């Protein structure tokens, strides 16, 4: 017996077999468990009291949940050599400065690439797009040499400035502007005598809010999750993620605190994604490569 | 492209040459150059220049201390003929990328397709469950807890309880286990940007096409997928492939975090690690640049290849 899925106008029905539905649900559940269980396990670990952490065999639930691991984590934090607030400041500062610069510079460039025809524009964008094809670990060493030449090694700039030139952000923004900002609107603004910069700022930018959010989220995730960097030596300039890794690398007696730290670190990007999900998906709608 | 359009218009205008016209266009659009300037400056500095510089340095014996000498192809010869660990790294990288790239790609596509017909609220939750591991930073280290070397690790505990083994396995220190486990963890974190792009691509397909397909005799969802869905989301398929391939070569950090560096018997030693070894630790910049150039070529090459294959989908 085939179940029929009605479409909008109720005239045509799409074929959907029960067996297919069951199979799809089954596969989704299996994959869902594979994806979800480790995440869930971290949360459970972080809530376990000491005796439950060292139970054989380990359990996927917690009998007497406690926040002691989080308390331990904060005790460990307050004992660190550099005040912990400094690490938090480092990550927040580099994240904010990196994200703002990235949003502003990428949007400017994306607008020019998407909406103005100028000699060399297409080939330059092609170059940017090609750089999506290699991972940035390839250039880490030469970047180091260049940064030493620019004398920004071991400063916040070594983290912030490269973030301004992120390729994915520009690519997504340009594609999104191309499909969502109509030329007619821009043309009428230009005819009214507005400058190109004003048209960009007043007309185009408000039309691509999902694009901004996506750019912000992507750029923020990168910077927030940044661990130890080869460009930073000074302890007081290192990132929060690095500091937490140091604390939790203290072996098995810190297993609880380590789980608590992981939970705190992952809550931020996950909450950001929950808030912005629909906008990001909207932006991705225009992410395709035509050739 | 712009050159071509310029030529076309120049033909229409007899009063000036192609170059004069281009120059005029450039002057007329100078605000556009101004707008891309800040971005392009950073992009050139930290993306283009490093690649170009790597290629140059790969022909020298630069080591950060002495004046570099030009050694032409010596580094390349040493890399391919005289460096056994590099050959191991190549093999591992190819195995890793050949499994993680395609599997994560198809997993993203199939799961995105499966959840496409769920009601919006439920779809948002399911999307989050699948996407969360890729954005949660260090959370993949939980696999170390699950597969830890003592009896408190979940895998050891259950296998011992069920009598499969009677002594703990040190998973991340065992040459037989390192690679498969790293692949599983990499796959676990791989439902990222391409996954979201596929979800968006599926949402964007005009429903009328499916109705027309049903009228034209599409019998089941598989036919619908093949004949209507896939051809319609070709641009997303292309973009997703690029993201999946690029990421499949860049999992070095995950591997190092899980099994340390170097991994036992170089069992999970990839080209990225080899690069890091010579560039970041031994400061043989010339040699490490050679490795970087080879890796760069492999990444771009496999992307080009897959793009060519994908452009045939549905045609």
Tell me the C-alpha distance between A59 and A37, whole Å: 12
Please report which residue ranges of B44-153 form alpha helices under DSSP H.
49-57, 74-81, 84-115, 120-135, 142-146
Residue-level pLDDT at B289: 92
* Residue that has been written with the tokens 């997303």 in this structure: B236
Q: Where in chain B is the domain with CATH 1.10.3720.10?
A: 77-310
Mean pLDDT, range B210-234, rounded to an integer:
86
Tell me the C-alpha distance between A136 and A165, whole Å: 12
Name the β-bridge partners of B70: B60
DSSP-derived 3-state class of residue B195:
helix
Asked, for residue A189, whether it belongs to a domain, the answer is yes
Tell me the C-alpha distance between B21 and B43, whole Å: 28
Query: Can you give the residue range of the structural domain that contains A237?
Result: 82-284
Tell me the C-alpha distance between B24 and B29, whole Å: 9
Interface contact A105-B247, CB threshold 8 A = no
Mean pLDDT, range B237-248, rounded to an integer:
91
Residue-level pLDDT at B108: 94
**A121 in contact with chain B, both atoms CB, cutoff 8 A:** yes
Interface contact B188-A38, CB threshold 8 A = yes
Mutation choice for A interface testing from B6, B32, B111 by most A CBs within 10 A: B32
Residue-level pLDDT at A77: 82
The alpha carbon of B42 is separated from its chain's Cα centroid by a whole number of angstroms, namely: 22
* Range scoring the smallest mean pLDDT among A57-66, A124-133, A208-217, B5-14: B5-14
Who's near B105: CB < 8 A, 6+ residues apart?
Answer: B194, B240, B241, B244
Tell me the C-alpha distance between B110 and B5, whole Å: 41
Does A134 lie in the same domain as A247? Answer: yes
Interface contact A38-B142, CB threshold 8 A = yes
What residues 44-63 of chain B have any CB closer than 8 A to a CB of chain A? 45-51, 53-54, 57
Does A235 lie in the same domain as A127? Answer: yes
Model confidence over B279-303: pLDDT tens digits?
Answer: 888 888 899 999 999 999 999 999 9
The reported pTM is 0.88
Minimal CA separation from B244 to chain A, in Å = 10
Tell me the C-alpha distance between B273 and B278, whole Å: 9
Asked, for residue A12, whether it belongs to a domain, the answer is no
Q: Tell which residue, A251, A109, A229, has the closest CA to residue A177.
A: A109
Does A190 lie in the same domain as A101? Answer: yes
Mean pLDDT of chain B: 86
Minimal CA separation from B89 to chain A, in Å = 15
Asked, for residue A164, whether it belongs to a domain, the answer is yes
* Range scoring the smallest mean pLDDT among A12-21, A207-216, B61-70, B228-237: A12-21
Residue-level pLDDT at B2: 45
Does A57 lie in the same domain as A106? Answer: no
Interface contact B25-A281, CB threshold 8 A = no
Mutation choice for A interface testing from B138, B163, B220 by most A CBs within 10 A: B138
Which chain A residue's Cα is nearest to B127? Answer: A277
Residue-level pLDDT at B241: 92
**B196 in contact with chain A, both atoms CB, cutoff 8 A:** yes
Model confidence over A170-207: pLDDT tens digits?
Answer: 999 999 999 889 889 898 888 988 888 899 999 999 99
* pLDDT bucket at A251, cuts 50 / 70 / 90: low
| Model confidence at B34: pLDDT above 80 | yes
Q: Tell which residue, A101, A113, A285, has the closest CA to residue B38.
A: A101
Does A42 lie in the same domain as A182? Answer: no
Mean pLDDT, range A260-288, rounded to an integer:
90
**B98 in contact with chain A, both atoms CB, cutoff 8 A:** no
Residues of A in contact with B193 (CB under 8 A): 168, 284
Residue-level pLDDT at A1: 36
**A83 in contact with chain B, both atoms CB, cutoff 8 A:** no
Model confidence over B209-221: pLDDT tens digits?
Answer: 888 888 888 888 8
For B77-310, which CATH superfamily applies? Answer: MetI-like (1.10.3720.10)
| Model confidence at A270: pLDDT above 90 | yes
Q: Cα-flanking dihedrals φ and ψ of residue A5, to 5°?
A: -100, 120
Mutation choice for B interface testing from A222, A289, A290, A291 by most B CBs within 10 A: A289
CATH number at residue A193: 1.10.3720.10
* Range scoring the smallest mean pLDDT among A9-13, A208-212, A274-278, B75-79: A9-13
Residue-level pLDDT at A253: 73
| Model confidence at A250: pLDDT above 80 | no
DSSP-derived 3-state class of residue B60:
strand
DSSP state of B251: T
Does A269 lie in the same domain as A136? Answer: yes
Total domains in the fold of chain A: 2
Does A236 lie in the same domain as A101? Answer: yes
Interface contact B111-A113, CB threshold 8 A = no
Asked, for residue A123, whether it belongs to a domain, the answer is yes
Minimal CA separation from B193 to chain A, in Å = 9
| Model confidence at B10: pLDDT above 60 | no
Does A277 lie in the same domain as A170? Answer: yes
DSSP state of B140: G
DSSP-derived 3-state class of residue B77:
helix
| Model confidence at A271: pLDDT above 80 | yes
* pLDDT bucket at B240, cuts 50 / 70 / 90: very high
Q: Percent of chain A beyond pLDDT 90?
A: 36
Does A116 lie in the same domain as A60? Answer: no
**B288 in contact with chain A, both atoms CB, cutoff 8 A:** yes
What residues 1-40 of chain A have any CB closer than 8 A to a CB of chain B? 5, 7-9, 11-17, 20, 24, 27-28, 31-32, 34-36, 38-39
Does A152 lie in the same domain as A190? Answer: yes
Tell me the C-alpha distance between B131 and B108, whole Å: 10
The alpha carbon of B241 is separated from its chain's Cα centroid by a whole number of angstroms, namely: 8
Which member of B43, B54, B235 has the closest CB to residue A128? Answer: B43
Mean pLDDT, range B243-272, rounded to an integer:
86
Does A56 lie in the same domain as A198? Answer: no
Residue-level pLDDT at B150: 79
* pLDDT bucket at B188, cuts 50 / 70 / 90: very high
| Model confidence at A10: pLDDT above 90 | no
Model confidence over B85-128: pLDDT tens digits?
Answer: 999 999 999 999 999 999 999 999 999 999 988 888 999 999 99
Asked, for residue A291, whether it belongs to a domain, the answer is no
Q: For residues B11-29, b (16+ Cβ closer than 10 Å) or e, as one string? A: eeeeeeeeeebbeebeeeb
Minimal CA separation from A290 to chain B, in Å = 5
Q: Are A279 and A214 contacting, i.e. CB atoms less than 8 angstroms apart?
A: yes
Model confidence over B138-179: pLDDT tens digits?
Answer: 888 888 888 888 777 888 888 888 888 888 888 888 888 889
Model confidence over A220-239: pLDDT tens digits?
Answer: 988 888 877 888 888 888 88
Model confidence over A13-69: pLDDT tens digits?
Answer: 676 788 888 889 999 999 999 999 999 998 998 898 888 887 777 888 888 888 888
| Model confidence at B50: pLDDT above 90 | yes
> Please, which contacts does B72-80 make with residues 24 or more away whose CB atoms are closer than 8 Å?
B75/B286, B75/B287, B75/B289, B75/B290, B76/B290, B76/B294, B78/B287, B79/B287, B79/B290, B79/B291, B79/B294
Residue-level pLDDT at A100: 95
Model confidence over A93-140: pLDDT tens digits?
Answer: 999 999 999 999 999 999 999 999 999 999 999 999 999 998 888 888
Give the DSSP per-residue string, chain A: -EEEEE-TTSS-EEEEEHHHHHHHHHHHHHHHHHHHHHHHHHHHHHH--HHHHT-SS--SS-SS--SHHHHHHHHHHHTSSS-HHHHHHHHHHHHHHHHHHHHHHHHHHHHHHHH---TTHHHHHHHHHHGGGS-GGGGHHHHHHHHHHHT-TTSTHHHHHHHHT-HHHHHHHHHHHHHHS-HHHHHHHHHTT--HHHIIIIIIHHHTHHHHHHHHHHHHHHHHT----TT---GGG--HHHHHHHHHTS-GGGHHHHHHHHHHHHHHHHHHHHHHHHHHHHHHTT-----
Does A86 lie in the same domain as A54? Answer: no
């Amino acid at each position: 017996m085939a179940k029929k899925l009605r479409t909008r106008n109720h005239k045509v029905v799409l074929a959907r077999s029960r067996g297919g539905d069951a199979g799809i649900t089954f596969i989704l559940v299996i994959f869902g468990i594979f994806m979800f269980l480790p995440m869930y396990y971290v949360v459970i670990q972080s809530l376990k009291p000491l005796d439950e952490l060292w139970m054989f065999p380990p359990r996927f639930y917690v009998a007497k949940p406690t926040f002691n691991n989080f308390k331990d984590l904060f005790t460990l934090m307050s004992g660190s050599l550099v005040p912990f607030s400094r690490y938090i400041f480092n990550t927040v500062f580099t994240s904010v400065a990196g994200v703002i610069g990235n949003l502003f510079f990428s949007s400017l460039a994306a607008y020019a690439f998407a909406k103005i025809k100028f000699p060399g524009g297409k080939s330059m964008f092609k170059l940017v797009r090609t750089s999506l094809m290699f991972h940035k670990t390839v250039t880490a060493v030469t970047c180091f040499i260049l940064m030493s030449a620019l004398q920004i090694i071991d400063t916040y700039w070594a983290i912030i400035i490269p973030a301004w030139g992120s390729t994915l952000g520009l690519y997504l923004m340009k594609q999104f502007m191309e499909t969502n900002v109509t030329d007619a609107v821009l043309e009428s603004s230009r005819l009214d005598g507005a400058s190109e910069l004003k048209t960009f700022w007043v007309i185009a930018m408000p039309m691509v809010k999902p694009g901004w959010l996506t750019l912000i989220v992507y750029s923020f995730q990168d910077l927030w999750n940044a661990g130890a960097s080869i460009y930073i030596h000074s302890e007081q300039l290192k990132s929060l993620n690095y500091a937490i890794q140091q604390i939790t690398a203290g072996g098995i007696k810190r297993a609880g605190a380590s789980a608590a730290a992981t939970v705190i670190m992952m809550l931020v990007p996950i909450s950001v994604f929950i808030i912005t999900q629909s906008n990001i998906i909207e932006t991705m709608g225009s992410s395709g490569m035509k050739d | 492209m712009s050159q071509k359009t310029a030529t076309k218009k120049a033909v229409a205008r007899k009063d000036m040459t192609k170059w004069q016209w281009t120059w005029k266009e450039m002057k007329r659009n100078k605000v556009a150059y101004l707008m891309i300037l800040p971005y392009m400056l950073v992009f050139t500095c930290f993306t283009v220049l490093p690649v170009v510089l790597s290629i140059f340095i790969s022909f020298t014996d630069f080591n950060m201390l002495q004046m570099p000498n030009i050694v032409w192809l010596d580094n390349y010869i040493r890399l391919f003929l005289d460096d056994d660990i590099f050959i191991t790294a190549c093999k591992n990288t190819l195995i890793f990328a050949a499994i993680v790239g395609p599997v994560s790609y198809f997993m993203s596509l199939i799961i995105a397709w499966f959840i496409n017909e769920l009601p919006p609220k439920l779809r948002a939750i399911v999307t989050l469950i699948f996407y969360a591991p890729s954005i949660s930073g260090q959370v993949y280290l939980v696999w170390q807890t699950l597969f830890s070397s003592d009896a408190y690790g979940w895998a050891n505990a259950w296998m011992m309880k069920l009598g499969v083994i009677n002594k703990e396995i040190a998973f991340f220190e065992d040459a037989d286990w390192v690679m498969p486990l790293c692949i599983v963890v990499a796959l676990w974190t791989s439902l990222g940007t391409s996954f979201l792009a596929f979800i968006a691509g599926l949402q964007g397909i005009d429903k009328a096409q499916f109705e027309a397909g049903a009228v034209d005799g599409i019998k089941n969802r598989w036919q619908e997928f093949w004949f209507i869905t896939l051809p319609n989301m070709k641009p997303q398929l292309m973009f997703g492939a690029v993201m999946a391939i690029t990421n499949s070569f860049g999992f070095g950090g995950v591997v190092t975090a899980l099994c340390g560096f170097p991994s036992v018997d170089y069992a999970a030693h990839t080209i990225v690690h080899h690069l890091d070894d010579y560039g970041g630790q031994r400061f043989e910049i010339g040699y490490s640049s050679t490795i970087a150039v080879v890796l760069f070529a492999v990444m771009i090459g496999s992307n080009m290849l897959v793009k060519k294959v994908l452009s045939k989908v549905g045609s």
